[in-house]
Amino acid sequence: MRDPAFPALHIRPARGWLNDPNGLCRIDGTYHVFFQYNPHAPVHGNVHWGHVSSTDLLHWTDQPVALFPRPAGMDAAGCWSGCIVDDGGVPTAVYTANPDHAGNATVGLARSDRTLAAWTQADKPVVLAPDDEAIDEVRDPFVFSFEDRRYAVQGAGKRGGRPQLLLWSCDDLEHWVPLKALLTTDDAVAAEVAAADIWECPNLAYVDGHWVVLLSVWRWIDGTHRLDGVRFLLGDLLREGDGLRFKATGGGAVDDGPAFYAPQVLTDNGRLLLWGWSWELGRDFSQLAQAGWAGSLTFPREMFVRNGRLGSRPAAELTGLRRERLDATSGAEFAAPAFEVVAPGPVALELVNGTDADQVVAVRGSGDQPARVLVDGSIVEAFAADRSTTTRAYPTESGRWRVVTDGPVEIWRLGLP
């Protein structure tokens, strides 16, 4: 029986656990998306790198699992987040290798041919955990280029301490040279916008004449950790001695919803694409075990800078999912596994399960920027006024959706062409 909550058009395997997107790249005309993956249970653990590929951002082909935890190896406790570098024609995964627990995580390399179908994981790390009392966890290497040099950052921090982005020179991926931190909370804007104990999943990109840093916020509160959303910083990337420094000039939230974390970006022919992880909301272990799956990647988004902030919209290719139009009468109920709502003014989406009706999201379009709400199973992604909101809502077999608006609206069923 079809699971009405399963997001069939989004990237995720049929079973198991999924979290962070990893290794986004486009090689020889094919997009590749990797992700944190437990193939054996819908819980975080035993983390592999899953892999899908596409030539159009609509049709995704499952590929063999790319990276595996190896017993007694540097990644025995998991192949955690990282990126992929086209290193002189050799696709190279640069990933967090966890030997036993997060405090001992290192940086590992794995290499493939141009198909990216089979990978050889190195036996030894290229970077060890730092010997620094101000840091107890480091992870999530992200490689970028600046002025014809190659660098990498890692998110770092400490429970009850201060977050920072470690910086390395890595023109030779086999030999990393440590440099002074790229960013700390000595930067007043970063300290205010992205308060955290640890910064995770850092990304750097240049878009619309601005350098952008993305930070996933890990906080230690009341004896436990909380993943507290994702922040962006706009600013300048400056030379400082042998290294670099990021000076923030502004920032804010990347997404306003409760189910968005750990995004990664891909520069693609002049545009900046982004995927994020959308976790489950309000589902306990027994519900996840019964479903057999947990977590989804978002649809790809195009990121841009406008009016001093980082904005987002659905990737242009996603209009290719539109099939026939549905009844767009305000208040009418309908059933569809996946659909898109487009409205030039205010619009709200409600989920009706039995006699219960809950508002899922409410947004407002304006001018030439209509609000768009894309729904696929239980994942809901809303876009309006250059902002995004990612949330979850779980339809039952008899569940129905309802759109409420006082103006014109279009509703499209979504499906593969």
Provide the annotated active-site residues: 20
Q: What are phi and psi of 57, to 5 degrees?
A: 65, 10
**Element spanning 243, H or E:** strand 243-253
List Cβ neighbours of 144 (8 Å cut-off, separation of 6 or more): 150, 151, 152, 153, 204, 205
Question: Residue 126's closest CA among 91, 94, 98?
Answer: 94
Residue holding tokens 């992604």?
A: 381
Q: What are phi and psi of 361, to 5 degrees?
A: -160, 150
What CA–CA distance (Å, rounded) separates 200 from 155? 5
Residue holding tokens 């001093």?
A: 308
List Cβ neighbours of 265 (8 Å cut-off, separation of 6 or more): 24, 203, 205, 214, 272, 273, 274, 303
What CA–CA distance (Å, rounded) separates 168 from 154? 9
Instruction: Extract the tokens encoding 128.
Output: 């060890």
Listing DSSP states for 44-75 in one string gives S-S-EEEEEEESSSSS-EE----B---TTSTT
Neighbours of 164 (CB within 10 A): 26
What is the largest distance, in Å, between two alpha-carbon atoms of the chain? 65
The number of CA neighbours under 13 Å toward the Cβ of 263 is 30
Question: Residue 293's closest CA among 11, 8, 13?
Answer: 13
What CA–CA distance (Å, rounded) separates 151 from 125? 17
Residue 198 and residue 81 in contact, taking contact as beta carbons nearer than 8 Å? no
